[in-house]
Amino acid sequence: MNYEIFNVSVDPGLGSGYVDDSGAITKISQSPGSLAGTVRIAPGQSSSDVFVVPIDDFVADSFDKSFQVKLSTGAGYLVSSNANENMATVTIVNNDKAGLIIITSGSHALATEGQDAGTFLIALQSQPKNDVTINLSEYSVAGASRQLHASVYPFKAEHVFDASNWFVPQEVSFWALDDNKIEDQYDTQGKPLYTGLHNAQIAYQFISEDTDYDSAGKLADDFTKTIQVVDIMDRPLSSDTASSIDNALTSLQEGVDSLSLPLVGSLEGKTGQGIRKFLSSLVNSISAVSTPSPRKLAKLIADGIGIAQDAVSVEIINGTDVELTFKFSDSYSVFSVPLAADFGLPGLGFKSEGSLDADFSYDAMLDLVFPLNGDIYLNTDPSKTFFDANFTTKLSPGFKLTGGLGFFANGCC
């Protein structure tokens, strides 16, 4: 039996001018694939199947494709004139949806202030019917400062997709502006997380004759009006940060060690651990991050020394430089400090033996400046960098002193 296909209905995205010509059916089906054909009803049977194999295209059809088929006359059989018996409608349901694909490493694309560009990839989710231009720009809520740039200009990018490359991801590059502000991330209660991470937003605008891929007239939640969140890492500090802090703290400790007091002589090794208690683990934790952001460094120092976070401050000074200030103190007893053989008073001819117990306490503050350009330096203003220590002793049983000054020796023992 002969059949004919008619009323082929195809979205203009698959090409116009196909309706009811042989081109239309070849656009939408591999089989039947032509506007006329025959089927054979085997002897003893009352029906026969015609298989429809749709072409899996990628166009987000604005309506489902369809065609109608009817039996046509031929030799050796009669066709009913009742449309319900001689005709059928076939609908091919669209499975493509216009959309935007954004591919990032991690949950958000990331750029670091003043460093190389951050990147992510974009592609379309279906084949557009016309060329699609995507314009990207920074989106700032009212009052918020700019976070992104391209060269010296505000961030802007343009990417064009067409019917042949819509599925090939294009790389978008964006740069984080070094805004001379110390920034951070906050939890839902508004508590700082001391990561140095903060957000920027990129707004999308689609322009195309394909209305699915055009922002005009779309609701704010349509993909053509996407607002993408990207992560910005605050300005990284110098890779010399760990060694500078190591040197500054070591100098303070050496300053204490180089002191000499009556009774005990040189303090080296006699004040307990002092700064050494936390120095190497602190320096290791900073080295592990290598170039921490200011707020991250503040957190590493507070955790490393075991002090409250508000004892560490980071701020911008001179418009561009980062100043790090931290205060710390300790107080503990040192047992059996050996007495200096000369009673800590060389030249007087004293001889002493024995040991004593001591209480040691200190109050320290350190002020380091990280210039935008140039080497890290210690602010030696005595109100900013100091080490105040107390070493209090009392003589323990078994103390013995003899000396060349007889009156002192007699008076003492």
Q: Closest CB to Ca ion among 59 and 275?
A: 59
Q: In this structure, what DSSP letter does residue 208 have?
A: E
Q: How far is the CB of 36 from Ca ion (least distance, A)?
A: 25
Pick from 67, 132, 161, 183: which binds Ca ion (CB under 5 A)? 183
| Site for Ca ion, residues 112 to 151, rule: CB under 5 A | 147
What token pair was written down for 93? 């349901």
Q: How far is the CB of 176 from Ca ion (least distance, A)?
A: 6
What token pair was written down for 16? 């116009």
Q: Closest CB to Ca ion among 224 and 293?
A: 293
DSSP class per residue in 88-135: EEEEE-------EEEE-SSSS-EEETTSSPEEEEEEESSB-SS-EEEE
Decide if residue 61 touches Ca ion (CB under 5 A).
yes
Q: Which stretches of 230-355 are DSSP H helices?
A: 241-257, 276-289, 294-305
Q: How far is the CB of 165 from Ca ion (least distance, A)?
A: 18
Q: How far is the CB of 335 from Ca ion (least distance, A)?
A: 49
Q: What pairing do the DSSP bridges indicate for beta strands 377-378 and 355-370? A: antiparallel
| Site for Ca ion, residues 244 to 283, rule: CB under 5 A | none
Q: Closest CB to Ca ion among 96 and 342?
A: 96
Does residue 18 contact residue 10 with C-beta atoms inside 8 Å? Answer: yes
Q: Closest CB to Ca ion among 233 and 312?
A: 233
Cα angle, residue 114 at apex, residues 109 and 115 outer, rounded to 5°: 60
Residues 13, 18: Cα–Cα separation, whole Å: 11
Pick from 14, 24, 28, 59: which binds Ca ion (CB under 5 A)? 59
Q: Closest CB to Ca ion among 94 and 250?
A: 94
The span of 57-65, 158-166, 297-305, 344-352 binding Ca ion (CB under 5 A) equals 57-65
Pick from 108, 181, 277, 327: which binds Ca ion (CB under 5 A)? 181
| Site for Ca ion, residues 308 to 347, rule: CB under 5 A | none
Total length of the chain: 413
Q: How far is the CB of 361 from Ca ion (least distance, A)?
A: 38
The span of 55-63, 261-269, 310-318, 379-387 binding Ca ion (CB under 5 A) equals 55-63
The span of 52-60, 114-122, 206-214, 398-406 binding Ca ion (CB under 5 A) equals 52-60
Phi, psi of 228, deg, nearest 5: -100, 130
Tell me the helices (H) and strands (E) count for the chain, helix number first: 6, 24
Residue nearest Ca ion by beta-carbon distance: 96
What token pair was written down for 352? 């002493």
158, 164, 166, 168 alpha-carbon torsion, rounded to 10°: -90
Q: What pairing do the DSSP bridges indicate for beta strands 87-92 and 386-395? A: unpaired
Q: How far is the CB of 229 from Ca ion (least distance, A)?
A: 14
52, 57, 59, 63 alpha-carbon torsion, rounded to 10°: 10
Q: Closest CB to Ca ion among 183 and 212?
A: 183
Pick from 57, 210, 214, 231: which binds Ca ion (CB under 5 A)? 57
Residues 315, 295: Cα–Cα separation, whole Å: 9
Decide if residue 70 touches Ca ion (CB under 5 A).
no
Q: How far is the CB of 140 from Ca ion (least distance, A)?
A: 12
Helix (H, G, I), strand (E, B) or coil at 245: helix
Total residues binding Ca ion (CB under 5 A): 10
The span of 15-23, 174-182, 381-389, 397-405 binding Ca ion (CB under 5 A) equals 174-182
Decide if residue 27 touches Ca ion (CB under 5 A).
no
Nearest to 239 by CA among 154, 115, 333, 94: 115
Q: What pairing do the DSSP bridges indicate for beta strands 400-402 and 377-378? A: unpaired
Q: How far is the CB of 183 from Ca ion (least distance, A)?
A: 5
| Site for Ca ion, residues 217 to 246, rule: CB under 5 A | 234
What token pair was written down for 331? 């107080």
Q: How far is the CB of 174 from Ca ion (least distance, A)?
A: 13
Decide if residue 179 touches Ca ion (CB under 5 A).
yes
Q: Closest CB to Ca ion among 42 and 141?
A: 141
Omega prior to 262 cis, within 30 of 0: no
| Site for Ca ion, residues 74 to 103, rule: CB under 5 A | 94, 96
Interacting residue ranges for Ca ion, rule: CB under 5 A:
57, 59, 61, 94, 96, 147, 179, 181, 183, 234
